[in-house]
Structure 1
Amino acid sequence: MPIKIPDDLPARRQLEAEGVNIMRERDAVRQDIRPLRIGLLNLMPNKISTETQIARLVGATPLQIELTLVRITNYVARNTPVTHMASFYRAWEQVRAERFDGFIITGAPVEHLAFEDVQYWDELRHILDWTQSHVHHCLTICWAAQAALWHFHGIPKHDLSAKAFGIFNHGNLAPASPYLRGFSDDVLMPVSRWTEVRRDDIPQGRGINVLLEGEETGLGLVDDPSCRSLHMFNHLEYDTNSLGDEYFRDLANAPSMPLPRNYFPDDDSSCRPANRWRSAAHLLFGNWINEIYQTTPFNVNDIGMIPRQLVG
């Protein structure tokens, strides 16, 4: 089954060229089927690229997906045209009465700030609380994963002495997890962050399970069943060139910027990198969507009515 996105969203042309099955809005309304409602709170600077990355992955499943793009209500995006935001995004205040089968919150380039100093922190806190009553399952990415663990569990983030930047191996610590179904014993993940969450800070008795962890970059994926959330600290959703684009952008301002590790062939930035994480990205998002489909209420209005899982 296809993914339903706005007919004139820029991501549509790219996804259609890749063979992703896209449904037109006028056709979707004629089908007697309830699609899974997935919301995307996009905090990344290049919103159009992130929309495409996420839509590609959620649209590759055999289920019909309705993707809703969401923005912070009172924050103006600086790197995306106002017309794009007005045409395709809805403020969270406009959707807060609605319910979603799944909700994705992306990372944001605000790691150098304390959570409480982020301009939209208060609204994000409300959104995180709202996911507990209006969302069946949540997926947080990078900074948003750190923010969710701080908000719900008081788990701090720690500054790194140098940026964790490149492609790093992560061990599969929970092959029986439904989210890691079909995963290899080792998983390559793109990493791009200045902070980390540490295993030793995870409180006991909360039911938080580490699923993927790397020797060099630490926690990669954590299951948080008490909050019906999956927290990914890295970027399986990234395109082949995403890390390279970040590198060349930063190089313009910092000539000594080190290369992303294990990324360019022979550490030659003129060579095209190989995508060695694409299959893991599709597996993770496919497994996440499948778990939502298996457990979400048939009646969308019943989402959030099931109490949070009691643990400990």
Structure 2
Amino acid sequence: MSILIDRDQGISSPALVPADGDLARDRGRGELTIGLINNMPDPALKATERQFMKLLQAAAGPRRIRFHCFSLPSVKRSPEAKWHVESEYSDLSDLKQQKFDGLIVTGAEPVAPELDQEPYWRDLTDLIDWAKANTRSTIWSCLAAHAAVLHLDRIERRPLPAKCHGIFDCDAVTGDFLTRAAPAPLKISHSRLNEIAERDLMQAGYQVLTRSAQAGVDIFVRQYASRFVFFQGHPEYDALSLQREYLRDIGRYLAREREAYPHLPVSYFDAATEEKLARFEKRARHQRHPALTNELPALTLRADIAAGSAAAALFRNWLQYLGTDAEVPLPAR
């Protein structure tokens, strides 16, 4: 997938990339080339595309963005999702033939007990090594962040006693440009079973930018030829992303595809909804059957989740960094 995002362009029907003759003109207006390596699980594949497209469009200001979608070929896909990737995405081999200002790399659903045993591990580590020298900056999201620090510095993630799932208040702990003019606190969605400990990051030379008293480290960075930005959370999530994940996990519990009933997302549903869901959980534990999903109560989110406000500020600052006059390295051959 290769599309052009313009400030005034709606993305429900994205425009095609202009002819090559327009390239010099667009570069002069501050065009950026961004790649999304979308490895998210099949149910979230298209939603992740839309979330990052909307986010980049909102953050771009007067800039134009050439936006290319890729996915690691070794990520396991259903036939439908595989068809979507093969028909709509660019081939990963094309990535190294172009010059990218920035990359965004998402995580994938784990299928192996250890990250370096995942079927996509070789493809992902090759991408990490390439991005260090061939982008101005790369964002590594959630599991991709965990995989990147494991490959780069052998920092092991640690399993959490319970899933970190909800919206957490995160505070900026440095004056870094990435958090400039961001709301305080930043309300960031987290959805993970593991964490990278701040002590391990600091000992290896990473800089922590934001943290949460409940969720721990949120954003951290490290400078190579490319500036690597790591998100343990999901600032790109829309208002309903956590709800979709929570309902998916309830469905898996009722279908006996997972043993534990999922915890409520933190600071997400309003009080009345949490009470209704607590009653539903008691019933589900006694009447465990997939048909019970049809009787889930109506759900209402809290009014103060501020979905997207933190992400808009973070990505606006990131695009401004990409658009500065510093030279972007040419692709390595």
Same fold (TM over 0.5): yes
Q: Distance in 2 between matches of 1:289 and 1:69?
A: 17
1:224 aligned onto 2:222: yes
Look up the match of 2:212.
214
Kindly report which structure 2 residues correspond to 1:229-308, keeping only aligned pairs within 5 A, or say none: 229-254=228-253, 256-266=261-271, 268=273, 270-273=298-301, 274=303, 275-297=305-327, 302-303=329-330
Look up the match of 1:308.
none
Amino acid paired to 2:109: P
Q: Deviations over 1:60-99 (max 9, x none)?
A: 2121100111111344522753332122212322322322
Per the TM alignment, residue 295 of structure 1 is displaced from its structure 2 partner at its CA by 4.3
Kindly report which structure 2 residues correspond to 1:130-279, keeping only aligned pairs within 5 A, or say none: 130-174=130-174, 176-204=175-203, 206=205, 208-226=206-224, 228-254=227-253, 256-266=261-271, 268=273, 270-273=298-301, 274=303, 275-279=305-309
Amino acid paired to 1:280: A
In the alignment of these two chains, the number of paired residues is 286
Larger of the two Rg values belongs to structure: 2
Pair 1:293–1:216, CA change in 2 (3 A) = same
SS of residue matched to 1:139: strand
Structure with the largest fraction of helix: 2
Per the TM alignment, residue 186 of structure 1 is displaced from its structure 2 partner at its CA by 1.4
Amino acid paired to 1:40: L
Q: Distance in 1 between matches of 2:331 and 2:326?
A: 9
Amino acid paired to 2:236: E
Gaps of 5+ in 1: 6-10, 17-21, 306-312
Worse overlay, 197-206 or 51-60? 197-206
Kindly, what percent of the aligned residue pairs are identical?
27
Q: Deviations over 1:135-176 (max 9, x none)?
A: 1110111001111111112211000111011111111112x2
Q: Distance in 1 between matches of 2:171 and 2:141?
A: 18
Q: Deviations over 1:28-79 (max 9, x none)?
A: 8646122211011001012110000011111121211001111113445227
Per the TM alignment, residue 293 of structure 1 is displaced from its structure 2 partner at its CA by 0.5
Pair 1:277–1:158, CA change in 2 (3 A) = same
Pair 1:242–1:124, CA change in 2 (3 A) = same
Pair 1:79–1:245, CA change in 2 (3 A) = farther
Q: Distance in 1 between matches of 2:251 and 2:242?
A: 15
Native 8 Å contact 2:39 2:75 kept in 1: no
Amino acid paired to 1:188: K
Cα-Cα RMSD: 2.4
